[in-house]
């Protein structure tokens, strides 16, 4: 009975999320705007300098720019729009807003963009949530006499799963040295994936810059941890004829560089594709303008959200698994 109660609550929560998402798009139609599905999808999966909750209600974010001519400039993104929320052609401080991007009015201008964007907000939110959750879990472990309960009981099986079935199995006896990184990697991706399914959320783990950064961390940790046997296998592969070694070397180097690329693209593509499919079903309602299509789309969106929750865990698991395999290959002893 308890599990059925929780399933009903979860289903109702998903319906509320889906309804709020449909309402945010219906505001465009009420205002007489022509609905463009492609623009709508790209607007929601790409980064932005403002945090739009629903159409017409946006939170301006701080824009931080350093240029050689003007030095450091800090101003609100609201300065780039008029009272009707239309981007100003003349811009502000030498910059204008153009389809979610900041462009200098002066061509060839050299500058560094350090702005707090929507993805940065969710990056901070995800990191803060992880700190709060795991400080609470750590306090539970500090008192060894108490039985795990609450949030500690929820996360302990997941932590044990990552430790025993992924890190320890693939890295071996040195697994404890890499366990903190692997747990951080797994839960950061998991939390980012789940938060990205909320209405008006940022597509954090569907941003190639985020996934590539995580992959580069794994790449650096793998190669800095690589032992003599690992590097010998790359640059002077044993057990093959001398001439073949010169043919194998470029293949090994390409394989070395493609590992972080495959890690980043796999996560980026899976999360972004899921968001595009969900947004496409929502968009069908406003294209066909039919109650029947709206009901069918809502049912599909609820089902897809449930699938995306599963994908969120799978992608976090896969990224952590491959990171552990790469480090295990770099640290294993010669056979």
* Residue 12: per-residue pLDDT: 54
What is the mean pLDDT of the segment spanning 95-111?
Answer: 83
pTM of the model: 0.85
Residues contacting residue 199 through CB under 8 Å, at least 6 positions apart: 17, 20, 21, 24
Residue 123 pLDDT > 80, yes or no? yes
* Per-residue pLDDT, 1: 43
Secondary structure of residue 282 in the 3-state scheme: helix
Cα–Cα distance between 196 and 21 in angstroms, integer? 13
CA atoms of 333 and 207, how far apart (whole Å): 36
pLDDT over threshold 60, residue 11:
no
Asked if 268 and 160 touch (Cβ cutoff 8 Å), the reply is no
| Contact call for residues 187 and 174 (beta carbons, < 8 A) | no
Give tens-digit pLDDT for 156-195: 999 999 999 999 999 988 899 999 999 999 999 999 999 9
Structure token digits, residue 168: 């320890």
Please give the pLDDT value at position 117: 92
> Average pLDDT, stretch 189-208?
90
Residue-wise pLDDT for 311-320, tens only, equals: 999 999 999 9
Binned at pLDDT 50, 70 and 90, residue 30 comes out as very low
For residues 250-277, average pLDDT: 91
The burial class, CB within 10 Å (0-12 / 13-18 / 19+), for 294 is middle
Q: How far is CA 179 from the centre of its chain?
A: 21
Instruction: Enter the tokens of residue 132.
Output: 């709060």
Q: How far apart are CA 158 and CA 154, in angstroms?
A: 8
63, 81 in Cβ contact below 8 A? Answer: no
Q: What is 50-101 written as a DSSP string?
A: EEEEETTEEEE-EEEEEETTTEEEEEEGGGGB-TTSPBPTT-BTTEEEETTE
Q: Is the pLDDT of residue 136 over 50?
A: yes
Distance CA 320, CA 317 (A): 5
- Which range (32-41, 150-159, 169-178) has the least confidence? 32-41
Residue 127 confidence (pLDDT) above 90: yes
Q: Are 88 and 81 in contact (CB under 8 A)?
A: yes
Average pLDDT over residues 142-149: 72
Is the pLDDT at 84 greater than 80? The verdict is no
| pLDDT score recorded for residue 283 | 84
């Amino acid at each position: 009975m308890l599990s059925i109660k929780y399933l009903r609550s979860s289903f109702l929560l998903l319906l509320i999320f889906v309804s709020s998402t449909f309402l945010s798009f219906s505001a465009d139609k009420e205002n007489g705007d022509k609905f463009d599905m492609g623009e709508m999808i790209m607007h929601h999966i790409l980064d932005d300098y403002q945090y739009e909750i629903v159409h017409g209600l946006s939170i301006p974010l701080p824009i931080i720019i350093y240029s050689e001519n003007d030095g450091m400039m800090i101003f609100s993104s609201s300065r780039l729009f008029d009272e009707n929320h239309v981007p100003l052609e003349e811009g502000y401080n030498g910059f204008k807003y153009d389809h979610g991007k900041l462009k200098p009015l002066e061509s060839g201008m050299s500058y560094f963009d350090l702005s707090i964007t929507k993805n940065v907000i969710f990056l901070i939110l995800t990191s803060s949530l992880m700190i709060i959750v795991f400080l609470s879990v750590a306090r539970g472990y500090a008192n060894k006499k108490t039985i795990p309960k609450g949030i500690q009981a929820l996360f302990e099986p997941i932590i044990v799963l990552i430790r025993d079935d992924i890190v320890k199995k693939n890295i071996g006896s040195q697994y404890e040295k890499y366990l903190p990184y692997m747990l951080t990697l797994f839960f950061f991706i998991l939390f980012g994936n789940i938060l990205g399914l909320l209405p008006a959320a940022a597509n954090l783990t569907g941003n190639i810059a985020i996934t590539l950064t995580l992959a580069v961390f794994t790449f650096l940790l793998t190669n800095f941890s690589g032992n003599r046997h690992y590097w010998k296998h790359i640059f002077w592969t044993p057990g093959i004829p001398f001439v073949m070694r010169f043919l194998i070397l470029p293949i090994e180097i390409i394989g070395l560089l493609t590992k972080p690329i495959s890690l980043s693209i796999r996560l980026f593509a899976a999360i972004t594709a899921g968001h595009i499919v969900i947004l496409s079903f929502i968009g069908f309602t406003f294209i066909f303008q039919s109650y029947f299509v709206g009901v069918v789309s809502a049912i599909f969106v609820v089902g897809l959200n449930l699938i995306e929750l599963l994908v969120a865990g799978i992608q976090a698991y896969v990224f952590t698994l491959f990171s552990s395999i790469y480090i295990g290959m770099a640290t294993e002893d010669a056979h």
